[in-house]
Chains A and B, each alone.
Chain A
Amino acid sequence: MAVTEVVEKEKTSQETILEVRNLKKYYPIKGGILRRTIGHIKAVDGVSFSVYRGETLGIVGESGSGKSTLGRTILRLEKPTEGQVVFEDKDLTNMRNRELRPIRKDMQIVFQDPYGSLNATMNVQQLLEEPLIVQTNLSKKERQELVDEMLEKVGLRPQDRMKYPHEFSGGQRQRIGIARALILHPKFVVCDEPVSALDVSIQAQVLNLMSDLQDDLHLTYLFISHDLSVVKHFSDRVAVMYLGHIVEIGDKKDIYNNPLHPYTQALLSSVPTVEKGKKREKIVLKGDLPSPANPPSGCPFRTRCPLAHEKCAQVLPELKEKGKDHFVACHLHN
């Protein structure tokens, strides 16, 4: 393996904050007159990984690869079909809503759409205060202080707190969404494409804000995005998803400099560069993402893989370690 140089140790400790084991989320497809279940959409199909305290794990993949479903299922906003989610040694998988509620204080989510994710009939004050009301015993005055403090942290003026979401721009609304997620000082935050709905000029601002807040509040991020450049900028480790599976996971440097999975290679070759004279070969994938209702047998990527061979159609490749903390699920590397 090429990756023999000592990888620079990131700021992360190796203490696991979240562990996902063989997680599956299937949605039933109903059909026929009696609306019986006639199949399943396998949005997340057997995913395992760990997230370490203080790091940012980026999840990349194209639309429909199951990234968002993964994020929501981890937070138990969706009920997992199978598998386990262990957060700080607590198994969330089968907890009831009542048991989950106190844990929600520690795990939060920033949604993709800053327009739809804020209740339009509540002003900023109410939006930010509500988590404090249900999760803490703080007095009205203490809550007020926290709201003002949080607004300032995300770069909004406290005097805007009586305004309603529609009175803000997209970037400002996303800051409200971030403030809402962070006001309880969670330990773990799922960021579900937090900047993809924003202008490029605003994306950097919001990303920098999230980065500063991570240092400030010692946050762990699960950063979901389809934008490879954003993930490269933002993550410590990266997992690549395809059709509900993780096909490769590893340190950011390994994934970006030495991608092993053919899909990762194709994905990275599609990122436009501005470097002069640097011509790269673009790997163009044939066809579309197969339907998650009827995934290919064996390796999910084999229908589009330029290097697929017989075995790929028969056996689902497992994630195997190919270098320090660098896992890939491909028969070519076994």
Chain B
Amino acid sequence: MTKYIIRRLLVFFPMLFALTIIVFTLLKLAPGDPYSQMMDPQIDASVFEEQRKARGLDDPIPVQYFRWLTDAIQGDFGDSFRYKGRTVAELIWDRIPNTLYLGVFSVFITLIVAIPIGIYSARNPYSPLDYAATGFGFFGLAVPNFFFGLAVIYIFAIKLGWFPSQGSISKPGLEGFELLKARLHHLVLPGLTLGLASTASYMRYMRSEVLSVLGSDYIRTARAKGLTERTVLYKHTLRNALIPIITLLGFEIGVLLGGAVITEGVFKYPGIGTLFLESIGNRDYPVIMAITLMLGFFTLLGNLIADILYAIVDPRIRYD
């Protein structure tokens, strides 16, 4: 197992390396640069030319890339072009807590909704509630995130006024319980929006897994032993049905830290996703590169954790 983990970690670096090359090249090939937006007839174009030279943006792409890489390996992701005087690391650190809250909230909603409904559906297949859940499942998978986000803003924020439509806190300077309340209040709509698709797919997974486990011979064995229905369900059925779900959860780690770019954008939620969107608009290369690298890293890490968990819950799987 240890050997396997080490081997997997070794694969990390070439993959992240390849990722940075691709993203960096694509960014530079796109027309425009951080200064193209600031063009102003009042300011002489030569001012921007000088700035470009000073930043090294006129150098060939490979030269720029290696300069970036040399710094990044040493842990220096540079300064933001847009936010003068702030390092990329600072910007990201500022945003990470918000993104984490949103991610955890949405995964929490997903799990507490999807797993019980999935189990119920599997135990009562073709019941009215199962049909309702199936209908909701298809709805959740079919409706695009941004559209659902706008719809809930319209209904719950504008028409009913129950929840704020954007931001993460109502006003600065809140503390303690008030702060927690404000945060949760702001999390509800983006959390639901972000969790909708995954709730739907987890529910479908859960239903089909539980259904197939309930039909298996060893569940009949468990009943023949004279176990209570509770034990059959929790000890024998769920333990087996949750195995594939755990793999899915591994992927969620990438989402959790990477933030949901689109959902955060719709709700103007100040997390990594919004920062990412803004930075792309502003051609803030150092920020884009750092966030991409972070996303790649956590996606790979999530996969590795899922594989390790897999081996822990399923004794048939052994890595060596």
| Interface residues of A, Cβ cutoff 8 Å to B | 30, 35, 72, 75, 77, 97, 100-105, 108-109, 111, 113, 116-121, 123, 130-131, 134-135, 164, 166, 177, 180-181
Q: A35-B126, A135-B226, A164-B315 are in contact. Are A121 and B217 (CB under 8 A)?
A: no
Q: Which residue of chain A lies nearest to B229 when distances are taken between CB atoms in the complex? A: A97
Q: Across the interface, which residues of A come within 8 angstroms of B224, CB to CB?
A: 75, 77, 104, 108-109, 181
Which B residues are within 8 Å of any A CB, using their own CB? Answer: 126, 216-218, 220-229, 231, 236, 239-240, 243, 313-316
Q: In the complex the two chains form, is B314's CB within 8 Å of A118's CB?
A: no
Q: Which residue of A lies closest to B315 (CB)?
A: A164
> Can you give 29 A-B contacts (C-beta < 8 A)?
A72-B220, A77-B223, A97-B229, A101-B228, A102-B226, A104-B226, A105-B226, A108-B224, A109-B221, A109-B224, A116-B217, A116-B218, A117-B221, A119-B221, A119-B222, A119-B239, A120-B218, A120-B315, A121-B315, A130-B225, A130-B227, A131-B225, A134-B225, A134-B226, A164-B316, A166-B315, A166-B316, A180-B225, A181-B224
User: Is the Cβ of B316 less than 8 Å from the Cβ of A113?
Assistant: no
Which of A101, A117, A123 has the most CB atoms of chain B within a 10 A radius of its CB?
A: A117
Q: Which residue of B lies closest to A120 (CB)?
A: B316
- Set of chain A residues within 8 Å of B216, measured between Cβ atoms: 116
Residues of chain A within 8 A (CB-CB) of B223 are 77
| Residue pair B315, A104 in contact (C-beta under 8 Å) | no
Interface centre among B226, B227, B240, B316, by most chain A C-beta atoms within 10 angstroms, is B226
Bound form: Cα–Cα A75–B223 in Å = 10
Total A-B residue contacts, Cβ distance less than 8 Å: 72
- In the bound assembly, the distance between CA atoms of A72 and B224 in angstroms comes to 9
Contacts of B228 in A (CB 8 A): 97, 101, 134
A192 to chain B, nearest CB (A): 10
Please name the 10 residue pairs, one residue from A and one from B, whose CB atoms are nearest each other, closest first. Answer: A104-B226, A116-B217, A117-B217, A119-B218, A164-B315, A101-B226, A131-B225, A166-B316, A117-B221, A109-B224
A152 to chain B, nearest CB (A): 21
Q: Which of A35, A100, A111 contacts B217 (CB 8 A)?
A: A111
Name which residue of chain A comes closest to B314, CB basis. Answer: A121
Task: List chain B residues, Cβ under 8 A from A123.
Answer: 315
Is there contact, CB below 8 Å, between A113 and B217? Answer: yes
Residue among B217, B228, B316 having the largest count of chain A Cβ atoms under 10 Å: B217
Interchain CB contact (< 8 A) of B313 among A72, A113, A121: A121
Assess whether B227 is in contact with A180, with CB atoms less than 8 Å apart.
no
Of listed A35, A105, A111, residue having the most chain B CB within 10 A: A111
CB–CB A100/B226 < 8 A? yes
Nearest CB of chain A from residue B294's CB, rounded to whole Å: 35
- Cβ of B221: which chain A residues have Cβ within 8 Å of it? 109, 111, 117-119, 177, 180
CA distance A321 to B4 in the complex (A): 69
- Cα–Cα, bound, A35→B128 (Å): 12
